[in-house]
Structure 1
Amino acid sequence: MAVNIAGLVSVILFYLLILGIGIFAARRAAKATTTDVLVAGRQMGMIVSFFTLTATQVGGAYINGTAEIMASSGLVWAQAPIGYCISMIIAGNVYAPRMRRAGYVTLFDPFQKKLGNKVGTLMCFPQFLGDIFWTAAILSALGSTVSIILEIDRTISIISSACIAIFYTLLGGLWSVAYTDVVQLICIAIGLVVAVPFALTHESVDLHRIDDTWKGEVQTAHIGLYIDVCFLLLFGGIPWQEYFQRALACKTVNRARISSVVGSFGMILFAIPSALMGVAGSAADWNQTAYNGTIPLPAEKMSYILPLVLQYLCPLPVSIIGMGAIAAAVMSSADSSILSSASVFTKNIYVQLIRTKASDREVMWVLRVAVIVSGAMGTALALSAKSVYGLYVLCGDLMYVILFPQFTCVLFLEVTNGYGSVVGFFLSCILRVLGGEPYLDLKPILKYPFYTEEFGQNFPFRTLTMICSFIAIISVSKLTEVLFKGQYLPLKLDVLGCADPDHRTRLRLPSDDRKEHEMQELNPPVPYEHKSMSDSLLRKGQ
């Protein structure tokens, strides 16, 4: 197998460019505090915030997955772009303003403040595991893509990509991630836009072949699954640390809101060339190309439809540019998930549970070690596991069925307490596991209506599980509050202190956030309808 020298040199140059920008951005964090690294000192400008918020979803899985679903199932099943677009609009206008006004640093700060450190930490694990598996899945996808286009060993590409992402994230934290996101998104746009005309006009591509199939269809038996996926994307896309890390870094609440809305539409634009590449792949007669694999393309090859189109339907220079686009997408996802999992471990596990009196310098070193460990774990999984994507899918489900109801209740429902959250957490886990997961060969124990052996669960059981979690959190919280406050149960049994909210350990903020937090205690945020006044209070607090 001959190595594609020209492509290899181009990818090396691209990696050097990204590394250089990451190092340059790290200069802003040369004398960084924890806040500087985690949320860029809350000084992120409009342009950078727009790019980096767009990049929270526009990664390797997003562009590869959009092409794959268009080629295999048609437009009607390409739900992710629209679903995540609406999800970010909701997050930016409903959830992020309250988080930003409260001065939180991570997604899980409100959990630990309201529920206590131990219960709040329990909620970190679905996100933490999801980030690790996500890192592994996208690095693994990059390795397969590089092996197709450049014909080099996937292990080398995985390790080298991970090392570069870890290195600049280690140096500059969110500043490096945000600045490299700008360049990476530009590379993605150029690479895919340039490739689309060549792919669609290749002699093997006849769009008439897919006149009846490009739209796709939702069969009656799959309506429940379709609804389930729609809601999973709409609401499961909200409680992600990667998004809130960027939203909380914006200078003002309004800037976070505007950047989220603009970024959501940016995600739609980036999905268009990916979808067109998938159309080209499904309309191609692969017998007329240099492709020598199984024809028609088997189902397991559909996940590689984008690199296959770049390799066999585009000229070599164009395929190399497209390879840069995929590498850029993967890097923008990998650095985000590495920093996200490291931030959650450092802020919400180490500082809140292990070393509550840790100095800022100590926290910085723990964060750096966590970045290395997080990246190493994702890389090891990418090299060894065969079902990483399935694990990530399951974690994505858990974000929807567990974290969305928990996050919503903690932020907006005063009645929520630790007892309701714990019951809701384990109820969600149990019901989700009982529903089965084909990616993990996990057979369903609880078979919902319309279940068939051929298609599995055809009932929106994930959404039902999420609703059950909401009901459990609210009802158990209210019940325990009545039992303890009404003294139907002795207060000594109130181990989580729901009857005495003062039991909770004060949320330890990084040193740069303490003044802002104290100011907000002296000047509590006004209700949401008075937006201009609340924004004024925020600026005074800073």
Structure 2
Amino acid sequence: MAVHLVGLAAIVVFYVLILLVGLWAARKQKSTGENPDSEDVMLAGRNIGLIVGVFTMTATWVGGAYINGTAEIIFSTGFVWCQAPFGYALSLVFGGLFFAKKMRSEGYVTMLDPFQRKYGGRMGGLLYIPALLGEVFWSAAILAALGSTLSVIIEIDNSIAVIVSAIIAIAYTLFGGLYSVAYTDVVQLFCILAGLWLSVPFAFSHPAVVSISTTSDKWMGSMETSDIGMWIDSGLLLVFGGIPWQVYFQRVLSSKTAFRAQLLSYVAAVGCIVMAAPAVLLGAIAASTDWNQTDWPGRVPIPAEEQKLILPMVMQYLCPPWVTFIGLGAVSAAVMSSADSSVLSASAMFARNIYKLIFRQKASESEIIWAMRFAIFGVGVMATVMGITIETIYGLWFLCADLVYVILFPQLVSVVYLKGTNTYGSLFGYCVGLIFRLLGGEPLIYLPAVMRFPFYDYEHDVQRFPYKTLAMLVSFSGIVGVSYPMQYLFESGKFPKHWDIFHCVVNIPDEVVMLKEPHEVEVNEMTQITKDINLMPNGQINPALKFSKEDLLSSGADNITDDTSSVSDDAKPEALREYDGGSR
């Protein structure tokens, strides 16, 4: 009972710490202005510094699902199948190399902005669905990890533990936005460092644990030749499915400069590997433990449905009470602050890309912020329900990258690098990718396989062919294979203009302006480099949409000015008009 009281005290102390930091950050948000606009709330005024940015990027990935799921998979199937930490670290590297600079230089507010600007508001809304599901699955995995941790500490019902954790995370996110999320992430990272690394030597020295060097056959795992296809499929899914996330781009877009956005991606990738190390060791220790010699009251060998509890079990039953206090309490409070990142990300996309750009184009900043707050509550509820009902943390963590990889990754590559793609190709690629993925089945959500690809394992009902990667390639091929022919057919006159029902090739409304170079506008023999600038009613450039001076310099601009007095009246409406939908 003493350990339970210690655990309860740990929860109270660390939850209060996280809550106070979140509320303090919310006050910092308010201090930046009496009436902050929605972009300030979503991106912290694009004022996240390099140090805080690195911490929040690393801590966002290294959450409850990351550490609990890593320990779980080491214990259950072995190190050879522990791909997620390395896959997500590589995704940060590739994200920094190919997407961070481009997205930040464009001055977008959310990941969906480029889709809606190029493919139209409704297509952007359709792409919001897999983005939302990914964020909800991610949040649910984190909450499930919290619930399992708390249920071990103080033997309370798992559902109650998940609900309490979600309420606290949602509370400060509602009022603090990215400021609260970022600063609680800093606390989170320090808590995980202290809690995990402190537990490792004490768990190693427990009498029930044998040397992990003598039990490598248990925790290293093995892979049959028939598993290679699955292993490659999973690895590619984690690497490239880890890029198209609003939770990632929210930090990229909140950076002061494009260079810093890249830099924090690279440093966070290293941080992800470092933070996975203690979880791997604790999983190996669990596999090297004779649980009959511990106070663990459950069955031995530990059944599959209880293996998601491995990390908190190691901390409680293999460590002294005071280490349990620091370890379990710190990790429980720390991983909670990753849930707020995903909840905020999904809510920001809803408020800006769905509510404002599709339904309420003239919504005030206050109205958008309130829409985001309602969305935070709704997304939090969905994640909480899934966190209670899904059994495996690692499986849920893996599933969250699935739809993102199959649908969003080829769409992101197309919208960023292929100027000729359009709404027709985007919609076709979306549909065929989704159909192929669903036909392959998904055991985690009890979806049977309708299409059995080569090497299908009929005995275990498992797809051994890399069918998820195939679905992604089919989706990408659909985007390209439809976009360019449709562009040719319309531009050559083989299809009449009125057939362009999406208004994205030739049947473009008058209010849509097409710029050959979207960010270079010739004004009085001087080039002013901007993003798609939206003029305010008084004719001045909206300051919330301007690049920073450092961004302009890094883009190669020779002449930089903050006013538009030199812009002729004729040039303004043609070159500087924002539009919703259509292809440039």
- TM-score, length-scaled by structure 1: 0.93
Partner residue of 2:150 out of 146, 150, 153: 146
Partner residue of 1:319 out of 311, 318, 324: 324
Q: Alpha carbons of 1:377 and 1:519: their partners in 2 closer, same or farther (altered >3 Å)?
A: closer
Q: Alpha carbons of 1:413 and 1:147: their partners in 2 closer, same or farther (altered >3 Å)?
A: same
Partner residue of 2:77 out of 73, 79, 86: 73
Instruction: Tell me the distance in 2 between the aligned counterparts of 1:538 and 1:279.
Output: 59
How many matched pairs? 534
Which aligned pairs between 1:510-525 and structure 2 lie closer than 5 A? 514-515=542-543, 517=545
Whether 1:370 aligns to 2:370 is: no
Partner residue of 2:475 out of 453, 469, 476: 469
Instruction: Tell me the distance in 2 between the aligned counterparts of 1:305 and 1:392.
Output: 16
Structure 1: where are the runs of 5+ without partners? 527-531
The aligned residue for residue 420 of structure 1 is 425
The aligned residue for residue 310 of structure 2 is 305
The aligned residue for residue 25 of structure 1 is 25
Letter in 2 for 1:82: F
Which aligned pairs between 1:302-451 and structure 2 lie closer than 5 A? 302-383=307-388, 393-451=398-456
Q: Alpha carbons of 1:509 and 1:163: their partners in 2 closer, same or farther (altered >3 Å)?
A: farther
Q: Is the 8 A contact 2:146 2:162 kept in 1?
A: yes
The aligned residue for residue 13 of structure 1 is 13
Q: Is the 8 A contact 1:237 1:400 kept in 2?
A: yes
Q: Alpha carbons of 1:385 and 1:418: their partners in 2 closer, same or farther (altered >3 Å)?
A: same
- Other structure's SS at 1:212 match: helix
The aligned residue for residue 252 of structure 1 is 257
Deviates more, 1:364-373 or 1:336-345: 364-373
The aligned residue for residue 133 of structure 1 is 137
The aligned residue for residue 504 of structure 2 is 498
Letter in 2 for 1:365: W
Larger Rg: 2
Offset, 1:433:
0.6
Offset, 1:137:
3.0
Q: Is the 8 A contact 1:428 1:465 kept in 2?
A: yes
The aligned residue for residue 189 of structure 1 is 193
Structure 2: where are the runs of 5+ without partners? 514-531, 564-584
Offset, 1:387:
8.1
Offset, 1:280:
0.4
Q: Alpha carbons of 1:426 and 1:135: their partners in 2 closer, same or farther (altered >3 Å)?
A: same
Instruction: Tell me the distance in 2 between the aligned counterparts of 1:68 and 1:389.
Output: 7
Instruction: Tell me the distance in 1 between the aligned counterparts of 2:546 and 2:501.
Output: 28
Q: Is the 8 A contact 1:247 1:256 kept in 2?
A: yes
Q: Is the 8 A contact 2:112 2:353 kept in 1?
A: yes
Deviates more, 1:316-325 or 1:102-111: 316-325
The aligned residue for residue 555 of structure 2 is 534
Instruction: Tell me the distance in 2 between the aligned counterparts of 1:148 and 1:471.
Output: 48
Deviates more, 1:68-77 or 1:47-56: 68-77
Instruction: Tell me the distance in 1 between the aligned counterparts of 2:476 and 2:388.
Output: 38
Q: Is the 8 A contact 2:68 2:393 kept in 1?
A: no
Q: Alpha carbons of 1:459 and 1:329: their partners in 2 closer, same or farther (altered >3 Å)?
A: farther
Whether 1:484 aligns to 2:490 is: yes
Partner residue of 1:57 out of 39, 55, 61: 61
Q: Alpha carbons of 1:222 and 1:384: their partners in 2 closer, same or farther (altered >3 Å)?
A: closer
Per-residue CA shift, 1:388-444, capped at 9, x if unaligned?
A: 976664442110010000011001101110000100001011000100111122111
Q: Is the 8 A contact 1:117 1:505 kept in 2?
A: no
The aligned residue for residue 111 of structure 1 is 115
Per-residue CA shift, 1:240-291, capped at 9, x if unaligned?
A: 0001001110111111111111111001110000000000000001111111
Q: Is the 8 A contact 2:8 2:153 kept in 1?
A: no
Q: Is the 8 A contact 2:187 2:334 kept in 1?
A: no
Per-residue CA shift, 1:168-202, capped at 9, x if unaligned?
A: 11111000000000001100110000000011111
Instruction: Tell me the distance in 2 between the aligned counterparts of 1:448 and 1:84.
Output: 27
Offset, 1:142:
1.4
Q: Is the 8 A contact 1:170 1:371 kept in 2?
A: yes
The aligned residue for residue 529 of structure 1 is none
Letter in 1 for 2:273: I
Whether 1:233 aligns to 2:238 is: yes
Per-residue CA shift, 1:59-83, capped at 9, x if unaligned?
A: 1000011111111222221111111
- Other structure's SS at 1:4 match: helix
Instruction: Tell me the distance in 2 between the aligned counterparts of 1:189 and 1:394.
Output: 27
Whether 1:97 aligns to 2:101 is: yes
Q: Alpha carbons of 1:303 and 1:385: their partners in 2 closer, same or farther (altered >3 Å)?
A: closer
Q: Alpha carbons of 1:108 and 1:535: their partners in 2 closer, same or farther (altered >3 Å)?
A: farther
Q: Is the 8 A contact 1:142 1:157 kept in 2?
A: yes
Q: Is the 8 A contact 1:89 1:261 kept in 2?
A: yes
Instruction: Tell me the distance in 1 between the aligned counterparts of 2:377 and 2:158.
Output: 21
Instruction: Tell me the distance in 2 between the aligned counterparts of 1:501 and 1:538.
Output: 36
Which aligned pairs between 1:219-230 and structure 2 lie closer than 5 A? 219-230=224-235
Q: Alpha carbons of 1:501 and 1:368: their partners in 2 closer, same or farther (altered >3 Å)?
A: farther
Q: Alpha carbons of 1:513 and 1:65: their partners in 2 closer, same or farther (altered >3 Å)?
A: farther
Letter in 2 for 1:19: L
Instruction: Tell me the distance in 1 between the aligned counterparts of 2:3 and 2:163.
Output: 18
Letter in 2 for 1:183: V
The aligned residue for residue 37 of structure 1 is 41
The aligned residue for residue 176 of structure 1 is 180
- Other structure's SS at 2:441 match: coil
Instruction: Tell me the distance in 1 between the aligned counterparts of 2:300 and 2:83.
Output: 27
RMSD: 2.6
The aligned residue for residue 159 of structure 1 is 163
Letter in 2 for 1:54: T
Instruction: Tell me the distance in 2 between the aligned counterparts of 1:163 and 1:27.
Output: 19
Q: Is the 8 A contact 2:218 2:287 kept in 1?
A: no
Offset, 1:355:
0.2
Offset, 1:213:
3.5
- TM-score, length-scaled by structure 2: 0.86
Q: Is the 8 A contact 2:138 2:400 kept in 1?
A: no
Q: Is the 8 A contact 2:316 2:328 kept in 1?
A: no
Q: Alpha carbons of 1:509 and 1:424: their partners in 2 closer, same or farther (altered >3 Å)?
A: farther
Deviates more, 1:190-199 or 1:320-329: 320-329
Q: Is the 8 A contact 2:146 2:336 kept in 1?
A: no
- Other structure's SS at 1:173 match: helix
